[in-house]
Amino acid sequence: MLLVLGKGGVGKTTIAAGLAALEAQTHGGAIFIEFGDGEAGKRSLSGVGRSVRHVVVRPIDAAQRAATPLFGSATVAKIVLGNFAIKPLIAVAPAIRELAMLEVVRQVAADNPGTRVIVDMPATGHSVAWLRVPTQGRDFLGSGPLFELCDRIRRDLLSPGRASIIVVSLPERLVIEETLELCAAIVRDTGLAVDRIAVNRVPVALPPEALADARALAGSGGPLARSAADLASVLEAREAQRAEAVAALDSLAGKEHTVWHVPLAPSDPTAKDVARWLLAEGAP
């Protein structure tokens, strides 16, 4: 199982879908699990074909699906979860939903032994809270069926032999810092190790002499000086961004995480594009 984590807007779904496409290419099939409405995954996976099975887990369905084995039947689960007091409790109690969604992931993985499951996890901040829920639940409950469910998720889903964690980041100093904090939190709070950091949107290099040339032309005082100065300032900004990216990536070099670089694309890359780039980076 591959759990793909990262803060909002870093391109987590694209990378996760790319990993699923790559897995399908190299091993003939993969399951891609997405939480929510499934639109983002569908978009990324367009053109990949049937070798990637796209499973969408909606919070409402997840609670009932996870509770069914607990209560022994879907009907009883439905009655309990539909109870006038339980229903609003679940509506505002995300820990229950999160536990249910993790249980559904566990069920999907258990039903498909031998197939790699790639999970596009919800954006962090909350992701580590997500992964902590089964441990918190287990420590807190002490016994009973719900305790066993938490324990089962920990054992079958959130244990080092079962799940690999991939954190998606961006080549910006503070984002990388947050990523490293997230990695530390994952290790501390879940006992899982982070296997890879995928740094998305690494800026492409421009011809190195362009900036010096533009500066020279800007200093020439000719009719093009002003425009050349504008170009120079754009190139400087790009250079600064690229330098920041390189420094940010270097800051990862001393760490034990393997890093994949995914280039910055001017328009939306597809899962196939990402699979190609990841393959070039030595994935999976």
Partner 1 sequence: MSKTDPLVIVCAGGGGVGKTTTSAALAVALARNGRSTLIVTIDPARRLAGAMGVDITDEVTRVAVPEAGSRLCALMPDPRRSLHTFAEQLFEHEPVAKARLLSNKLYIGLADAAAGVHELVAMNLVARAAERGSFDVVVIDTAPSRHAVDFVTLPGRLAALLGGRTVTWLSGLAERTSGGASGSSGLIGWGAGHVENLLAKVTGPVLVRDTGDLFRDLAVVRDRFVALTQHAATLLLGPRAAYLLVTAPTAAGRDDVLYLHKRLEKLGPGSRAVVMNRADTHAASYARALRGQPGVSAAMASAMTIIEDERAARSSAADALSAELRARIPGLPTVRLPFIEASAPERVVAALSRELEPYIHTLLPAAAAER
Q: Hey, which residues between 15 and 44 contact partner 1 (CB under 8 A)?
A: 39-40, 43
Is 250 a residue that touches partner 1 (CB under 8 A)? no
Nearer to partner 1, 122 or 192 (CB): 122
Stretch that binds partner 1, among 48-56, 103-111, 160-168, 218-226 (CB under 8 A): 218-226
Q: How many CB atoms are located within 10 Å of the residue 77 CB?
A: 19
Among 50, 111, 267, 282, binds partner 1 (CB under 8 A): 267
Is 70 a residue that touches partner 1 (CB under 8 A)? yes
Is 9 a residue that touches partner 1 (CB under 8 A)? yes
In the window 71-100, what residues touch partner 1 (CB under 8 A)? 71, 76, 79-80, 83-86, 88-89, 91-95, 98
Among 100, 228, 252, 262, binds partner 1 (CB under 8 A): 228
Nearer to partner 1, 9 or 161 (CB): 9
In the window 178-197, what residues touch partner 1 (CB under 8 A)? 178
- The three-class DSSP label of residue 52 is strand
Is 209 a residue that touches partner 1 (CB under 8 A)? yes
Q: What are phi and psi of 169, to 5 degrees?
A: -140, 180
Question: In whole angstroms, what is the distance from residue 117 CA to residue 34 CA?
Answer: 11
CA angle 115, 37, 15 (to 5 degrees): 50
Among 28, 207, 221, 254, binds partner 1 (CB under 8 A): 207
Which DSSP symbol is given to 181?
Answer: H
The b-or-e profile of 84-113 (16+ CB within 10 A means b, else e) is: eeeeeebeeebebbbbbbbbbbbbbbeeee
Cβ neighbors of 251 (< 8 A, separation 6 or more) are 173, 176, 180
Among 2, 4, 5, 10, binds partner 1 (CB under 8 A): 10
Min CB(27)–partner 1 separation in Å: 27
Question: In whole angstroms, what is the distance from residue 20 CA to residue 271 CA?
Answer: 8
Min CB(256)–partner 1 separation in Å: 24
| Residue 75: both structure tokens together | 């009907």
**Residue with tokens 């420590």, as numbered in its chain:** 139
**Residue with tokens 């196939």, as numbered in its chain:** 272
In the window 136-165, what residues touch partner 1 (CB under 8 A)? 136-137, 140-147
